[in-house]
Amino acid sequence: MALTGLIFVAYVLAHMYGNLKVFAGQDAFDTYAEHLREFGEPILPHAGFLWVVRVVLILSLLVHAVAAYRLWARAAGARSHRYAMKKATRSTLSSRTMRWGGTAILLFVVFHLLNLTTRTITPGGDSDSPYQRMLNTFDPENWWMTVIYLLAMVALGMHLRHGVFSAAQTLGYTNGQSARAFWNRAGWTVAIVIAGGFAIVPLSILLGLVPDA
């Protein structure tokens, strides 16, 4: 879970950076999207790099999900009855919602792919331009799409906040109070930067801060 989680952190950070290119205008954003498909040519076929990334992400997702639900089942079956006296423990909202938050993120990823990748769900209208598809998706008339994405970013931020610390703990980097404090701050930083970076795009389009195509 820790290693596959770090793969996802690297991916969403790069994906978030690419999304921010929407502020550079249609030419810059669409050119960036096309370059991703041309990357690695002629060694790789057209869009070959994207398929390599997709395969890695799908395999990582399977490993991450299976590990998560096995740990969930193991924790649930660790004892046959509740303790008579439960000792208070320190926990955060992020840690308590990791399982359900992860499930929500998984469902959102499927929705996101149907929306902007396969172009199956296009409430604002379809377009061959990735820039225009993004503007159509978060058009003020489709404000509910923005709400869905913002709620998903809240779930992602909470997942990242605890996940970064948990991964560091699993890999043995949180020995000592100062190390734990550092990785706790790192978790918050990663969560705010990535979730905030993603969220600013639909919000800006909704508020008319991104120029029309």
d(CA 144, CA 75): 37
Question: At residue 34, what are phi and psi to the nearest 5 degrees?
Answer: -70, -35
pLDDT, tens digit (0-9, with 9 covering 90-100), for 6-43:
999 999 999 999 999 999 999 999 999 999 999 999 99
Q: 26 or 72, which is more confident?
A: 26
Residue 87 has what DSSP assignment?
A: P
By CB neighbour count within 10 A (0-12 exposed, 13-18 middle, 19+ buried), where does 127 fall? middle
Return left, alpha or beta for 25; rule: phi > 0 is left, psi -120 to 50 is alpha, else beta. left
Q: Residue 102 has what pLDDT?
A: 87
Q: Residue 79 has what pLDDT?
A: 57
Inform me whether the pLDDT recorded for 80 exceeds 70.
no
Domain residue extents for the chain: 2-78+91-206
**Residue closest to 13 by CA, chosen among 196, 204, 170, 209:** 196
Report if pTM > 0.85: yes
Cis, peptide link before residue 202, omega less than 30° from 0: no
For the chain, give the mean pLDDT. 90
